[in-house]
Every structure is written in C-alpha cells, then in structure tokens.
Chain A
Amino acid sequence: MSSISQLRARRLARALATAGMLAAGAACAGEVEVLHWWTSGGEAKAAAALKAKLQTLGHTWKDFAVAGGGGDSAMTVLKSRVVSGNAPAAAQIKGPSIQEWAREGVLASIDDTAKANNWDALIPKPIADGLKYKGSYVAVPVNVHRVNWLWVNPEVFKKANAKVPTTWDEFFAAAEALKKVGVIPVAHGGQNWQDFTTFEAVALGVGGVDFYKKALVQLDAATLKSPTMEKVLTTFKRVKDYTDKNAPGRDWNLATAMVINGQAGMQIMGDWAKGEFLAAGKVPGKDFVCAPAPGTSKAFTYNVDSFAMFKIKNDANVKAQKDLATAIMSPEFQEAFNLNKGSIPVRLNMDLAKFDDCAKQSSADFVASSKAGSLVPSIAHGMAVPSAAEGAIKDAVSQFWNSDKMTAKEAMERIASAAKVK
C-alpha cells in the first residue's frame, strides 16, 4: 500500500513541476468543459489527475461526465448542446466520428499546439490521420487499446494439456482439448460488438493485414466477396461451436470472469479485459496469459480513445482548451492514465518501466507494427468506417453468427451490401 501511495505522490510531484513550468506561460485563466464517460473507478481517478493538472495552470475544470451506455447517452446530450450553439471545449469522440463531427463544421483546429509539441513525430501516422480533418489536428489521443488479444487461463490449459494457440488450427485443437475436460473453451458475450471483436480477430489472423485493410477498412466489394472472406467466415462460425449456450446478451466482463474463475479457457477481447484480471488479484504471466489473437502476432488492431476539440468563443477558454490538449499528450498524463485504464500510451518512445508485461508486449508490438505498416483500426470499436456502415456490417456479421441456417456465401452478400450503406 505504502509503495503505491509513494508512487502516486511522486507522480503528482512531477505533474506539479511540469504544470509550474507551463503556468509561467499562461497569461490568463479560462474554463474548460470536458464531456467524458470516465465514471468507473480507474478512469475517474485518471480524469481527476487531468483536472488537477489544469487547475495548477489556473484554469477552471467543468466536469461534464455522462455515465452509461458506452457513451450513447453522452452523445445525445452533446448533440443537443452543439445544436444549441453551446458546445463544450472537448468531448470524448473517436475514430471516423471525428471526421463526421468535423464535417458538420463544429470542431476547432489545434494545429499550433500539435506543431509546438511535435505530435507528428510522436503519434504513428495511421492514428494521426484519424485525428485530423483536412490535414489539421482536431482531436487529441489519450490511449491505445490493443483489440486483438487472446486471454488464457493457464491452469485450465494445463489440465487439458493444451498449449496457447498461435494459429487458428492450434486454436481449434486447444478448444477441442478444453471441451474434453469439460471446460467451456471460449468465453463469449453475444452482443454485436463482441461478435465483431471475434470476427475482426479471425479476419486479421486468417486473411492477413492486406486483406483486412482492403475488405474491412476500404470496404472493397470484390475483396468482401472473395474466397478469403469465405474462409474467414467459416472459421469465425467454427468458433461459435466452442462457446456456451448462454452467451447471447452477456456482458464482456462476465465473459472475462468465466476465464478468471476457470469456468472457461480463453476469451478474445481487447486489453480492457486486463483490468478485470488485475482487479481480481491475478498476476499476468502466472494466473493469466495474454497472447496475440491467433495468427495476428505481427499485427496490431488499435482502438484509440481521443478528445475532439470544439469551436468555442472566449479567448481565455480557447487558451485553456489548448492547455488541455498539451496536458493530455504530456508523458505524465499518458502514463498515469494508461496505468489506470489498462491501455498503453499513444506517444511513441515512452518509458514503460511501471507497466506490466502485457502492456510492454502491447507497446513493443505497437511500435513494430507501426513501422511495418501492420497497424489496423478496429471496426468493432468504431475506428475504421463511418458509423452507419459500421452498424450495418455489425448487424450482418451478428446475424451470421446467430443464425443456424445462413451460409458463408449468403453472409458475404449481406456484408457486401451492408458495406454500401452511407
């Protein structure tokens, strides 16, 4: 306990020191209103750290936290605020939604802040591109989640005499072994984004990076109807045979709990699942294993949380808004926040000494993939395609997952026609 509080004290001291330097430059104080849904334990702590930092700069932090619905209710509130001409300074918006909001002409450029802090060198290009509208930054990234993870309970695997799979063939072999010893092989929650999280892992593992980009990011019709796609879909459907009957509607964290208590062997889920393991007092590498989803060790599916900056009027508030952007990208905040959230910092070349092994591996793969060009956006988490098409594709994939009658060919047709939704 004492070591943690010491750690926190040190972190705070460092934050204060940087803040002091910045404060010297702050001419006048403004107010930032920030819309977010960081209301759960670790997230709320991270938000409080950001608030403290802005207060040391002399700005007022107006909290605009809207709980629930993975941000749906927050978005509804945000829309009404923006329509009435009273936008907050920043709001938690990510992926192509940033472009959608920018197209409505309500986002502000923070290019000068980005240039002053050299963001272009700090953020990998595919991610930076997603934060820009017409070449200028309109949003600031907070973290990177890796989505293509496989979470494994090693104790159960030992009992079944199975090994952690690195390819899909090994995955099914392991699943078969787990089934024999009476364990649910794959913990799954049947909600459309979870179905899709599994689907995109299979697509990346079976089809490879180029296929993934062409089919699911560019939505190329020919690739969506190719034999590779058919193979992806059949493999995806095979996974379902290893899930349990009660999966429909189950929340992801309940599925993770099944892996934690040994009821199930593995789960395909993003690194927020790590938070559940850690909260249950489990140690990475010993009580649970994090491995890249089968066949995807050389690639990285990202889900980047970010804050979009809105056009606001008052000059002092604009100054505060820019300080907020600087603060979010600062190494101190990135470290503090991501330690709490289970994700990794979006800044390249950060010291990761305080992070656990899963995060270190995630970060190493992140850097390697960003060099190799195998960094791909997660569709399940709204990073790749506009929300209308994304929803329609998710619907089609879920329908295929749930239906006993639909063939892979039919599913391909449906996905291809869903991809045309604008």
Chain B
Amino acid sequence: MSALPMTLPRQHWLPKLVLAPSFVLSFLFIYGLIAWNGYLSLSASRLLPNYEFVGLEQYVTLFESERWWVALTNLAIFGTLFIGGGMVLGLLLAILLDQKIRAEGVLRTIYLYPMALSFIVTGTAWKWILNPGLGLEKVVQDWGFDGFTFDWLVNPDRAIYTVVIAGIWQSAGFVMALFLAGLRGIDDSIIKAAQVDGASLPRIYWRIIIPSLRPVFFSTLMVLAHLAIKSFDLVVALTNGGPGFATDVPATFMYAMAFTRGQIGLGAASATIMLATVAAIVVPYLYSELRTRR
C-alpha cells in the first residue's frame, strides 16, 4: 500500500511529459511562426527579412494598394458565391440522392469524384473548357449557334466568376456527402409522423428536415469558408490572377509580394490580414463548439 503515494505523483507528471514535445513543437512552429510573421509585417523587410521596426507602415501601403482592394473584392465575390452556390447545389444533390433510389452507391461516387481531384487539375481542366477558342464557346458555335459567346475567362470583369464555377464544381460533391450524412442521421419516425399527418414531401423537407440540418450547415460553412480564403491553387491554375490582376485573391497577392517582388514586409502584412479573417470565422465556431461540450 505504500506504493500508492509514489504512483500518484507519477500519474501527475507523466501525461504532461508525454504531451510536452508535441506542445513545444506546435507552439514553436505554429504560434511561433505566426508571431514571426506578425513581427515581419511591422518591419521594413524587403528582399530578406530584416528587423528594422517601422510600425504600421506596411499595412498603410497595403491598404493604399489598388491591387489589394481588387484582391479583397474578389475574395468577397468568390467567397459569397462559392459558399452559397456550393451549399445550395450540395444540398440539392443530397436531397435528390436521399430518395432511396437504386445504384445510390455508384451515383454517390460519381458526385463525390471531383473532390478526388486537386484544385490544380480542376483549374487546368476548366481553363481549357472555358477558353473561347478551344472549349465551350467554340463547341457551341460549331454546332451552328454563331452568336453564342462565353468569354468570361478572358474578360477582366467576369473572370472571377469562372473561378466560382470551377470552385463549386469541385466542392459540391463533398458538400453533398456532408449533407447526405446529416440527412441519414435524422430520425425516421419524425418524418413518418409528418407523413401520417398528411404533409407533402417538399413541405417535410422545408419545415422539418432542413431546419434539423443546422449543425451540418454550420460545419459546411466552416469548411467552405476557409477553403475560399485559402483558394490559391485554383486561381493560379485557372487564370493565374489574370487578365492583368483581375482575379487576384489575397493568397496570390501575398505570394506575389513576398516571393517575386521582394516585398516580404508587405506580404507578411497581407498574410496577417488573411489570418485575422480566418480567425474571425473560426474563433466563434470553436467558442460555440467548446461551450456546447461543457
């Protein structure tokens, strides 16, 4: 029985010791680097990092830059349409697939398949499809509709919408899978009860099923929102920010400034703003998650 006082302290420090390396590493390489980036954004860094403190100068330059505003506007357009469109289409696919049909497994795989492709592949494929001289426009014109034009990809005012199209194409299947899982989790007896009461199927979906999918909506929003903010590869592959810089988003802006234009400080400032945007979405989510657990 004298062993008991000895095991107690060990049980006290052992879990902490085991956790310590991963804690130190993640602290150093995640939060340490975030802090370093934050400091760089306050420095006069150009080609190489240097530590001359210049206060908020880089942020002032950033928000005076027209290209940054184009990037932010594009993020707003892309974010709204990508998240909204992806959810609506995903939900629609999920509801249609939920009708207890044959070969559902096959269809589900087909719908989900775009998710298996990387954004680079999606972007490249859509680049060909939307190219006026090769893809959709040419095909339709060859069918005899000479007046048909679909040149959004090369039109500076419309190009960002082509990124939306490719993004939704990519993510709708994944959203569908999330919603389908949600739909399958709904208690059948509620639906049966509604049917007994004489409610029509659309009404059941509208009044009972969709409202009960709220948590799924929420997690889908989280996933899509951070995908939208990080959308770098899709833009690079599809338009490379062009024509001009019409489809620049904050991620491509950051890369251009930090790595090709020798403006590390400015790039760091834009990265900080992006991080703040992500945090503005994720922190409330984490907060609500942690609160409900309690």
Q: Which residue of A lies closest to B262 (CB)?
A: A387
Asked whether A113 is an interface residue with its Cβ less than 8 Å from the other chain, the reply is no
What sequence of 0s and 1s flags, for each residue 242-259 of chain B, a beta carbon within 8 Å of any chain A beta carbon? 111110000000001001
213-260 of chain B: CB within 8 A of chain A: 239-240, 242-246, 256, 259-260
In the bound complex, residues from chain A placing their C-beta under 8 Å from that of B48 are 79, 82-83, 104
Task: Give the chain B neighbours of A401 by CB distance below 8 A.
Answer: 244
Minimum C-beta distance from A119 to chain B (A)? 26
Number of CB contacts from chain A to chain B under 8 A? 81
Contact across chains for B262 and A97 when beta carbons are under 8 A apart = yes
**Chain B residues within 8 Å of A249, by CB:** 127, 154, 239-240, 242-243
A386, B261: Cα distance in complex, Å: 9
Residues of B within 8 A of A387 (CB): 260-263
- The answer to whether A388 and B263 touch (CB under 8 A), given A246-B133, A248-B154, A249-B239, is yes
* A399 cross-chain contacts in B, Cβ below 8 A: 244-245
Say if the beta carbon of A403 comes within 8 Å of chain B.
yes
Is the beta-carbon distance between B243 and A391 smaller than 8 angstroms? no
B156 at the interface (CB under 8 A from A): yes
Range of interface residues on B (Cβ < 8 Å): 20 to 34
Please give me the residue from chain A that is nearest to B248 by CB atom: A395
Provide the bound-state CA to CA distance between A109 and B261, in Å: 25
Partner of B156, one of A245, A388, A403: A403
- CB-based contact B132/A402 at 8 Å: no
Q: How far is the CB of A86 from chain B (nearest CB, A)?
A: 14
A190 on the B face (CB < 8 A): yes
B49 within 8 A of partner (CB): yes
Indicate if A75 sits at the interface (CB-CB under 8 A): yes
Nearest chain B CB to A81's CB is how many angstroms away? 11
Please tell me if the beta carbons of B261 and A248 are within 8 angstroms of each other in the complex: no
A173, B239: Cα distance in complex, Å: 33
CB distance from A405 to the nearest CB of B (A): 9
Q: Are A403 and B132 in contact (CB under 8 A)?
A: no
Whether A388 pairs with B240 at a CB distance below 8 angstroms is no
| A residues in contact with B243, CB < 8 Å | 190, 248-249, 398, 402
Cβ of B244 and Cβ of A403 under 8 Å apart? yes
- Within A98-121, which residues are at the interface with B (CB < 8 Å)? 100-101, 104
User: In the complex, what residues of B have CB within 8 A of residue A72's CB?
Assistant: 259-260
Q: Is there an interface contact between B47 and A79, defined as CB atoms closer than 8 Å?
A: yes
Q: In the complex, what residues of A have CB within 8 A of residue B131's CB?
A: 246
Partner of B259, one of A75, A82, A388, A403: A75
Contact B244 A101 (CB under 8 A): no
Is the CB of A267 closer than 8 A to any CB of chain B? no
Tell me the chain A residues, 62-97 only, with Cβ under 8 Å from chain B.
72, 75-76, 79, 82-83, 97
With contact pairs A83-B48, A101-B47, A395-B67 given, residues A402 and B156 touching in the complex (Cβ less than 8 Å): yes
Whether the Cβ atoms of A100 and B244 lie closer than 8 Å is no
CB of A24 to closest CB in B, whole Å: 40
Known: A195-B244, A249-B239, A402-B242. 14 other contacts (CB 8 A): A72-B259, A72-B260, A79-B48, A83-B48, A100-B262, A191-B240, A245-B151, A246-B134, A248-B239, A386-B262, A387-B262, A391-B256, A401-B244, A402-B246
Q: Which residues of B contact A (CB under 8 A)?
A: 46-50, 66-67, 127, 131-134, 151, 153-154, 156, 239-240, 242-246, 256, 259-263
